[in-house]
């Protein structure tokens, strides 16, 4: 059964351009994987047939930042690596989003050393934080869905200068979004 059976093909639909743009954007998020450690394996599993990120239109992982709009940082990031990560982020298309996947990316995890960045949000505007060591693929899917929800509601926050603000979404468990409110300064 296709759309044609629900809507007459010679009929008309009216809507707002912004709704169509948001629908297209949220239905075709293209991730840029920055996977450096074990969380990267969960990231790969998320795209596999068992979890099937394609159901949410976000399975087209791109390894060229100019073709991607969702950066997923999965794993620890060393201080030496951070300038590379920042450059990749700057090369991505606008509007773009960032997911910090796992304890290492969000806080440095167990690697409390001078060589490991103690939270990528010190250098990147992280939109969604996913806890765990490692987070399960379902949690990453939920993170992507949270971003899609914000896009769909046309709720992307900007500051008065037009600069994109991080969404600041935190997860507690895989089925409990504790903070889906966007940044209070929006």
**Binding residues vs ligand SF4 (CB under 6 A):** 37-39, 75-76, 102-104, 109, 133-134
* Nearer of residues 101 and 150 to ligand SF4, judged by Cβ: 101
Closest CA to 88 of 137, 35, 146: 35
Residue 102 or 143: the one with the smaller Cβ distance to ligand SF4 is 102
Read off the tokens for 98.
Answer: 């960032």
CB nearer to ligand SF4: give 39 or 70. Answer: 39
CB of 117 to ligand SF4, least distance (A): 12
**Nearest Cα to 86, choosing from 124, 122, 118, 36?**
124
Angle at the Cα of 177 (from 147 to 43), degrees rounded to 5? Answer: 55
Q: For residues 39 and 140, which CB has a smaller minimum distance to ligand SF4 in the complex?
A: 39
As measured in angstroms, the least distance from the Cβ of 35 to ligand SF4 is 9
Residue 134 CB, nearest distance to ligand SF4 (Å)? 3
Residue 180, φ and ψ in degrees, nearest 5: -105, 5
Contact 74, 40 (CB under 8 A): yes
């Amino acid at each position: 059964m296709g759309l044609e059976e629900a809507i007459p093909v010679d009929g008309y639909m009216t809507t707002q351009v912004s709704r169509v743009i948001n629908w297209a954007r949220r239905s075709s998020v293209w991730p840029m994987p920055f996977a450096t450690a074990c969380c990267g394996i969960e990231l790969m599993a998320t795209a596999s047939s068992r979890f099937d990120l394609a159901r949410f239109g976000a399975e087209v992982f791109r390894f060229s930042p100019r073709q991607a709009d969702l950066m997923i940082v999965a794993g620890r990031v060393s201080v030496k690596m951070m300038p590379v990560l920042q450059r990749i982020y700057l090369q991505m298309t606008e509007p773009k989003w960032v997911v910090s996947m796992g304890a290492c990316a969000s806080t440095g995890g167990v690697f409390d050393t001078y060589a490991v960045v103690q939270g990528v949000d010190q250098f990147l505007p992280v939109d969604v934080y996913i806890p765990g060591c490692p987070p399960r693929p379902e949690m990453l899917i939920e993170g992507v869905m949270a971003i899609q929800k914000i896009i769909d509601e046309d709720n992307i926050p900007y500051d008065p200068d037009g600069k994109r603000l991080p969404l600041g979404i935190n997860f507690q468990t895989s089925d409990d979004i504790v903070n889906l409110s966007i940044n209070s300064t929006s």
